[in-house]
């Protein structure tokens, strides 16, 4: 394990974060965009479990035009770390009214506006601070989550047009199924149809954004017709995953996160011996077990019990029995010369073998996002360039 961790740790288990791979993925995505498109990099949810502050710093260094977070708290974490780049709070006020508005203005965060009800809070706080405040307006074109539906826009636009301290810097929507070209096209059409209505009330707005990772990789249009400035909003692709979407020919992404541990204990068990809680696995032969200190408290899913494989001495070995809170058991019977202290790769490369996040997600019956975001805070992150 290389790199630096700010506090000592005494368990040989960590998540490794390759910042050079992150930078390479950023450049790969930038290269497939139109030359005038800019990138709003998504670093919400602790940068998808990779560590918001180090990741944000690297992405700013790469040229990101802005950073996307979900909550005010996530924005404040970046500001408190000295990051000055524009921060877009995708979740807006989340029903918290004046307290959230005050923090937005004080920390120079840019909220996304989803309804007319939040305007009064933001306008009042901005007026009190005598500070012009940029907002982004979200139109719900088919996600049915946050954002104003087209029929709700008149009331919202009327209220925004009365504001003296708020101004709409950008307009956005969120693709619900970017892998479905027809559905995404209908969403884009709905957004374009709202453009005339929005600008008739608020005046010209230069910045519009819609494309996420999958849309970018599919080659979907990024720019909204008639807009002067376009952003793309990659998330999962920055971290080297596609959530099962096949990459286009000639495009490669590098995994950013790895999971590593070491063998803490080795033991021989005779045939017929049960292993772990529930005795769901019973050895059919004399078995050499490696005990590895990682478990579901670290974010290694319980659903991988009896399904996952890890890499030891360059060879795959099965996880046997139930994943426990702090430990897993691995059958290393067929791997010669195994010793306590040998490296165990749970996600990443070792020798010629590779276990990717997509493999773990499929075997867990979940998605890559959840695997990344589930890696717990007790797992040290080791940052490597």
Indicate which residues carry an active-site annotation.
44, 277
Which DSSP helix (H) or strand (E) runs through 230? strand 229-232
**Is the separation of the CB atoms in 64 and 25 below 8 Å?**
no
**Is the separation of the CB atoms in 210 and 224 below 8 Å?**
yes
Tokens 């180090």 belong to which residue? 54
Which DSSP helix (H) or strand (E) runs through 75? helix 72-80
Q: How far apart are the first and last CA of the chain?
A: 13
Cα–Cα distances (Å) from 90 to 40, 71, 288, in that order, read: 11, 7, 50
> Which is nearest to 113 in space by CA: 93, 137, 134?
137
What DSSP line would sit under 275-324, residue for residue?
A: ESGGG-EE-SS-EEEEEES--GGGT--GGGTTT-EEEETTEEEEEES---
Beta bridge partners of 311: 316, 345
Helices 52-62, 19-32: axis angle to 10 degrees equals: 50
Question: In angstroms, rounded to a whole number, what is the distance separating the alpha carbons of residues 66 and 233?
Answer: 10
Q: What is the DSSP secondary structure assignment for residue 127, as one 8-state letter?
A: H
Query: ∠ CA(255), CA(256), CA(260), 5° rounding?
Result: 95
């Amino acid at each position: 394990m290389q790199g630096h961790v700010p506090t000592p740790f005494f368990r040989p288990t960590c998540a490794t974060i390759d910042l050079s791979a992150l930078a390479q993925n950023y450049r790969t995505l930038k290269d497939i965009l139109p030359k005038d498109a800019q990138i709003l990099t998504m670093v919400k949810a602790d940068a998808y479990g990779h560590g918001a502050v180090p990741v944000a710093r690297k992405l700013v260094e790469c040229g990101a035009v802005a950073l996307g977070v979900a909550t005010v708290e996530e924005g404040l974490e970046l500001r408190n770390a000295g990051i000055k780049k524009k921060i877009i709070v995708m979740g807006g006020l989340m029903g918290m009214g004046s307290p959230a508005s005050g923090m937005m203005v004080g920390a120079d965060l840019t909220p996304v506006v989803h309804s007319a009800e939040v305007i009064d809070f933001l306008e009042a706080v901005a007026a009190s601070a005598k500070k012009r405040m940029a907002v982004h307006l979200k139109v719900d074109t088919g996600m049915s989550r946050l954002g104003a539906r087209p029929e709700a826009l008149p009331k919202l636009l009327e209220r925004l047009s009365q504001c003296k301290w708020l101004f709409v810097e950008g307009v956005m929507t969120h693709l619900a199924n970017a892998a479905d070209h027809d559905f995404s096209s209908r969403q884009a059409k709905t957004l374009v149809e709202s453009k005339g209505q929005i600008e008739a009330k608020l005046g010209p707005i230069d910045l519009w954004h819609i494309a996420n990772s999958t849309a970018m990789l599919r080659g979907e249009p990024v720019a909204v017709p008639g807009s002067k400035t376009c952003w793309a909003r990659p998330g999962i692709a920055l971290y080297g995953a596609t959530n099962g979407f096949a990459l286009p020919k000639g495009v490669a992404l590098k995994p950013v996160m790895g999971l590593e541990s070491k063998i803490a204990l080795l033991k021989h068990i005779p045939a017929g011996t049960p292993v772990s809680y529930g005795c769901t696995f019973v050895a059919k032969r004399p078995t050499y077990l490696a005990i590895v200190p990682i478990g579901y408290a670290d974010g290694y899913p319980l659903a991988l019990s009896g399904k996952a494989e890890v890499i030891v001495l360059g060879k795959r070995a099965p996880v046997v029995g139930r994943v426990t809170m702090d430990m897993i058991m691995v059958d290393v019977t067929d791997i010669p010369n195994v010793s306590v202290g040998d490296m165990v790769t749970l996600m990443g490369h070792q020798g010629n073998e590779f276990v990717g996040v997509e493999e773990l997600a499929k075997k867990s019956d979940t998605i890559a996002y959840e695997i990344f975001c589930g890696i717990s805070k007790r797992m040290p992150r080791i940052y490597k360039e």
